[in-house]
Amino acid sequence: MKTICLYFEIHQNIHLKRYRFFDIGTDHYYYDDYENEHAITETAQNSYIPALQALLEMARMHPGYFKCAISLSGVAVEQLENHAPDVIELLQELNETGCVEFLAEPYSHGLSSLTNEEAFKEDVQKQARLMKEMFGKEPKVIRNSSLIYSDEIGDVVASMGFKGMITEGARHILGWKSPHYLYHCALNPNLKLLLRDYKLSDDIALRFANPQWSEYPLFADTYVDWIASLPENEKVINIFMELCALGMFQPLSSHILDFLKAIPAYAKERGLAFATPSEIIAANKSVDALEVPYPMSWTDEERDTSFCLGNVMQREAFEKLYSLADRVRMCRDRRIKQDWDYLQASNNFRFMNTKASSYGMYRGIYDSPYDAFTNYMNILGDFMNRVNNLFPSEIENEELNALLTTIKNQGEELQVKDKEIARLNARLKKQESALASEVQTETKGRKRSTSVKKTN
Amino acid sequence: MKVLMFGWEFPPHILGGLGTASYGLTKGLSMQPDMQITFCIPKPWGDEDRSFMNIIGMNCVPIAWRDPSWEYVQERIGKCMDPQLYYDLRSHIYADFNYMHVNDLGCMEFSGRYPDNLHEEINNYSIVAGVVARQQDYDIIHAHDWLTYPAGIHAKQVSGKPLVIHVHATDFDRSRGNVNPTVYSIEKDGMDHADCIMCVSELTRQTVINHYHQDPNKCFAMHNAVYPLAENLQAIVNQRKPASERKEKVVTFLGRITMQKGPEYFIEAARKVLERTHNVRFCFAGSGDMMNAMIELAASYGIADRCHFPGFMKGPQVFECFRDSDVYVMPSVSEPFGISPLEAMQSGVPSIISKQSGCAEILDKCIKIDYWDIDAMADAMYSLCTNPALHQYLQEEGKKEVDGITWEKVGVKIRALYEKTIEKCK
């Protein structure tokens, strides 16, 4: 039986405000509140709320049959909590139906997986904790920002205890292989990989409402037929997209939600099933290892990291940012931690993209990649100063780490000693009081005193 | 295809951008094998590049009958014109111009510059053009800038051939809206008579449509291009010191220091940059009516020690200036095209240009700002001076981009427009 795995991504980056170089050192607030509120409410109204309602409806119409997976970036959760709590409520409701699995991903939607393992782990754990808190379950499957994946990332993720990871079924990686099977990571067979079918996914996410498309208008029965007519032994059909594809990329007026709602009924008719990533991993065996020496992603035609690291400006910004990773990890300043999350979002790098072919090229407040770079570097300049002011810059990271560990260890030691002292003090008191009472009894009866001393 | 062109300047004796553009355009057009160009200028010096077209000096064209000997003509104007052409032209004198101020060859003198009696010179140019238009054989007439529009109209009326006019600038750009009525009327008259109007940018095209009330269907944007640097200039540019040896950054403004070029915005931005950093110098290369005011402004902001005014630069000096610059800024309030950012980018200097300039329409690998947005301008300057990655990217990609903007491609486009115009006028 063929299984459809639907997965939706919810991420909204925090928009940076216009930040001039003369603001460096004087202004430490980097965000465009108006744009953030506007963007998130617009997306929630036009996409998240109606789309989640549709999913909820599908779950209630087909209880136990319809399943899907959702992941949220931490920054998106923060934004939703602030500006569109309805979306969170809908997600909770959806969670109660039991049809949805929530996945882990980096809290910041950043690119730390490409450069700093420790920062990446921390980033993911932060989000995983949040998911547990919100939905009561520890995520077992992970997706990286923009589905970036390479063998090394897979290894790191496996070492963190994740059972599966979802990523792109990029043609240059798969070659003749089909994405409709379960694969595993080449460096660690315990990590299973679910590969996105970019054709079937983009039919919905990119082309659905395009009247120039040869398949326009697409109906649910045709779409399900395409899936049903795939070769017999191709079992897993992974359809992954951003949730805002429903309503933003493809407007609601195109009846995309009606299309979506009609899918389960037709799928049932044709004997297809729905499953969450965890269920697929449990039910299927991996057919092969997938070797991905260089990182791939789901972005652009190239399906690699060129959307965020394609030119010297992007690489410069990326290197400057992650040169701070260790220091930020060591610090305990909450505001710095928060800015660190917001500055990491891969969207900031995407704004500096100079590729001609990027579809849906949206630059936010910037009118050119150079503008985006200048603004980001100004902010980063200020942020770097703040981080460097926390610890003296002449101390190397390792030395600093050692010092911090020493301080921490000494602190712990002191705590242990404090406890010990308290314990001993208590004992001493006890002894003293015991002694005092003894003395009293001693004065009463001298005969017994010798035997008491002996037992002591 | 034969083209009769009227121009005012031609290298190497040029006074502004018009000469450079005329040269590039004709050379690019001449790349097409069947293209024959005859270019009329008021006063040739004899050292112009004639390898790809004929040049007719208007000061060698007789408008009153004289009968000098072959040897005499050879001696007098031989370095600019073949004596035979003199006699051929003489047979096409169309009226008695003896009352005009003519010399012993029956020719009129031209200054070839922009003298005080410019209007008289324009009129004389048009009289002489009548003779040339009667003698020459051509399919289309192409007149560059308003000085030659009357000549173009005259040629059109004589021959009935279609007239193309090329708008390199309008009086609206030069005067920021306070147009000179005489100039405006000459410009408008030329445009009204033209069958096709080529504008150096979409910006200029819009001016022509909105302020000169022309039919949008006959106005076309025809962007300028640049020629690869000559060897001697390339050698100058190659002397650029590596970034590691350049302790101070130099931000350059190059152009006439007049209202049109927006120098005051440059100073305001410089002030903002200097509040933050001290290893940047600002260079104002050029002269103009606002120069003294700018020096005073810089002094009043207390940044005069960082602002330098080396004066007017010409020829190789321009490239020496680019060689020593790290950033080029063109904050023009209104610029029909603006060739200097292209030259700066050719020399490996990243450019910041105003969105109100024509070249912004064809350049991508540069920073574009609104001329009035001094915060953005200062930010861009600062960013280019402090972020090597951005500087390197724009330096390399900018050069590549400009290398792809060639006059040859412009020539092909012009040719296509010629053919369309001829077809339309049949």
Give the gap in angstroms from C-alpha B223 to the nearest C-alpha of chain A.
22
pLDDT digit string, tens, across residues B80-107: 888 999 999 999 999 989 998 899 899 9
Task: Kindly state the percentage of chain B with pLDDT values over 70.
Answer: 100
Could you tell me if B210 and B64 lie in one domain? Answer: yes
pLDDT of residue A93: 94
Q: Is residue A229 scored above 90 in pLDDT?
A: yes
CB distance from A315 to chain B under 8 Å? yes
d(CA A409, CA A451): 47
What is the pTM for the complete model shown?
0.83
pLDDT of residue B131: 93
pLDDT of residue A357: 62
pLDDT of residue A447: 57
Give the gap in angstroms from C-alpha B293 to the nearest C-alpha of chain A.
26
In this structure, the strands spanning A182-185 and A192-196 are antiparallel
Question: Of residues A34 and B244, which shows the higher confidence score?
Answer: A34
CB distance from A316 to chain B under 8 Å? yes
Q: Which of B268, B352, B367 to mutate to test the interface with A (most CBs of A within 10 A)?
A: B367
Q: Which of B276, B367, B393 sits opposite A21 (nearest CB)?
A: B276
Q: Is residue A442 scored above 80 in pLDDT?
A: no
Q: Which of B272, B368, B390, B391 to mutate to test the interface with A (most CBs of A within 10 A)?
A: B390
Whether A370 sits inside 8 A of B390 (CB atoms) is: yes
Whether A316 sits inside 8 A of B387 (CB atoms) is: yes
Residues in A touching B389 (Cβ below 8 Å): 312-313, 315-317, 373
Whether A378 sits inside 8 A of B387 (CB atoms) is: no
What Å distances lie between residue B331 and A128, B52, B317, CA to CA?
Answer: 51, 36, 21
A 10 A CB-CB count for A284 gives 16
pLDDT of residue A449: 52
| Strongest mean pLDDT among A322-336, B138-152, B162-176 | B138-152
Task: Kindly state the percentage of chain A with pLDDT values over 90.
Answer: 73
Q: Distance of alpha carbon A202 from its chain centroid, rounded?
A: 22
Average pLDDT rounded to a whole number, residues A365-370 = 88
Question: Of residues A213 and B246, which shows the higher confidence score?
Answer: A213
What Å distances lie between residue A354 and A16, B140, B396, CA to CA?
Answer: 19, 42, 14
pLDDT of residue A445: 65
Could you tell me if B238 and B279 lie in one domain? Answer: yes
Q: Is A103 helix (H, G, I), strand (E, B) or coil?
A: strand
Token reading at B229: 């640097």
CB distance from A347 to chain B under 8 Å? no
Average pLDDT rounded to a whole number, residues A91-115 = 94
Whether B387 sits inside 8 A of A374 (CB atoms) is: yes
For the complex shown, is ipTM > 0.90?
no
Q: Which residues pair with A300 in a beta bridge?
A: none
Average pLDDT rounded to a whole number, residues B326-346 = 92
Residues in B touching A315 (Cβ below 8 Å): 389
Q: Is residue A77 scored above 90 in pLDDT?
A: yes
Give the gap in angstroms from C-alpha B261 to the nearest C-alpha of chain A.
23
Average pLDDT rounded to a whole number, residues B346-359 = 93
Whether B379 sits inside 8 A of A378 (CB atoms) is: yes
Could you tell me if B311 and B173 lie in one domain? Answer: no
Residues in A touching B375 (Cβ below 8 Å): 20
pLDDT-derived band at A130, boundaries 50, 70, 90? very high
Whether B380 sits inside 8 A of A374 (CB atoms) is: yes
pLDDT digit string, tens, across residues B399-410: 999 999 999 999
Token reading at B287: 């002269």
Average pLDDT rounded to a whole number, residues A282-287 = 92
Whether B276 sits inside 8 A of A377 (CB atoms) is: no
Quote the number of domains for chain B: 2
Question: Of residues B32 and A391, which shows the higher confidence score?
Answer: B32
pLDDT of residue A396: 78
Chain B residues with CB within 8 Å of chain A CB: 272, 275-276, 367-368, 375-376, 378-380, 382-383, 386-390, 392-394, 397
Residues in B touching A22 (Cβ below 8 Å): 272, 275-276, 378
Cβ burial of A299 (10 Å; 0-12, 13-18, 19+) is buried
Could you tell me if B246 and B171 lie in one domain? Answer: no
First-to-last alpha carbon distance for chain B, in angstroms, is 15
Contact between A165 and A157 (Cβ < 8 Å): yes
Mean pLDDT of chain A, nearest integer? 90
- Residue B109's nearest CA partner among B153, B44, B154 is B44
* Amino acid at residue number A245: A
Could you tell me if B197 and B68 lie in one domain? Answer: yes
Q: Is the dihedral of CA B299, B301, B307, B310 positive or negative?
A: negative
Burial B254-293 (b: 16+ CB within 10 A, else e): bbbbbbbbbbbbbbbbbbbbbeeeeebbbbbbbbbebbee
Q: Is the dihedral of CA B265, B266, B271, B272 positive or negative?
A: positive
| Residue at token pair 């003298």 | B115
What's the length of chain B?
A: 426
Could you tell me if B174 and B60 lie in one domain? Answer: yes
Give the gap in angstroms from C-alpha B278 to the nearest C-alpha of chain A.
13
d(CA B337, CA B361): 9
d(CA B204, CA A62): 64
Could you tell me if B286 and B388 lie in one domain? Answer: yes
Q: Which residue of B has its CA nearest to A380?
A: B387
Could you tell me if B274 and B308 lie in one domain? Answer: yes
* Amino acid at residue number B267: I
Run of H or E including A313: helix A312-322
pLDDT of residue A451: 52
Q: Which residue of A has its CA nearest to B394?
A: A370
Token reading at A300: 């652009």
d(CA B65, CA A373): 69
Helices (H), A160-245: 171-174, 198-205, 220-228
Of A379-388, A405-414, B123-132, B385-394, the poorest mean pLDDT is in A405-414
Going by the DSSP 8-state scheme, the letter that residue A359 receives in this structure is T
Could you tell me if B165 and B238 lie in one domain? Answer: no
Whether B390 sits inside 8 A of A377 (CB atoms) is: yes
Q: Is residue A152 scored above 90 in pLDDT?
A: yes
CB distance from A374 to chain B under 8 Å? yes
C-alpha angle with apex A55: A49 to A60, nearest 5 degrees? 125
Token reading at B182: 């005489």
pLDDT of residue A450: 53
Q: Which residue of B has its CA nearest to A19?
A: B379
Residue A265 backbone class (left: φ over 0; alpha: ψ -120 to 50; beta: rest): alpha
Residues in A touching B388 (Cβ below 8 Å): 316
d(CA A69, CA A240): 9
- Residue B233's nearest CA partner among B20, B76, B33, B50 is B20
pLDDT-derived band at A160, boundaries 50, 70, 90? very high
CATH number at residue B83: 3.40.50.2000
Average pLDDT rounded to a whole number, residues B270-299 = 91
Q: Which of A316, A371, A378 sits opposite B389 (nearest CB)?
A: A316
Could you tell me if B196 and B248 lie in one domain? Answer: no
CB distance from A313 to chain B under 8 Å? yes
Contact between B80 and B42 (Cβ < 8 Å): no
Residues in B touching A354 (Cβ below 8 Å): 393, 397
Q: Is residue A358 scored above 60 in pLDDT?
A: no
d(CA A421, CA A114): 48
CB distance from A378 to chain B under 8 Å? yes
Task: Write out the DSSP string of B128-166.
Answer: HHHHHHHH---SEEEEETGGGHHHHHHHHHHH---EEEE
Could you tell me if B47 and B192 lie in one domain? Answer: yes
Q: Which of A311, A315, A374 sits opposite B383 (nearest CB)?
A: A374
pLDDT of residue A331: 85
C-alpha angle with apex A452: A447 to A454, nearest 5 degrees? 110
Residue range of the domain that includes B60: 2-225+407-425
pLDDT digit string, tens, across residues B180-229: 999 999 999 999 999 999 999 999 999 999 999 999 999 999 999 988 88
C-alpha angle with apex A372: A366 to A375, nearest 5 degrees? 105
Q: Is the dihedral of CA B340, B341, B346, B347 positive or negative?
A: positive
pLDDT digit string, tens, across residues A162-171: 999 999 999 8
pLDDT of residue B15: 75
Q: Which of B276, B368, B392 sits opposite A22 (nearest CB)?
A: B276
pLDDT of residue A408: 81
Could you tell me if B45 and B164 lie in one domain? Answer: yes
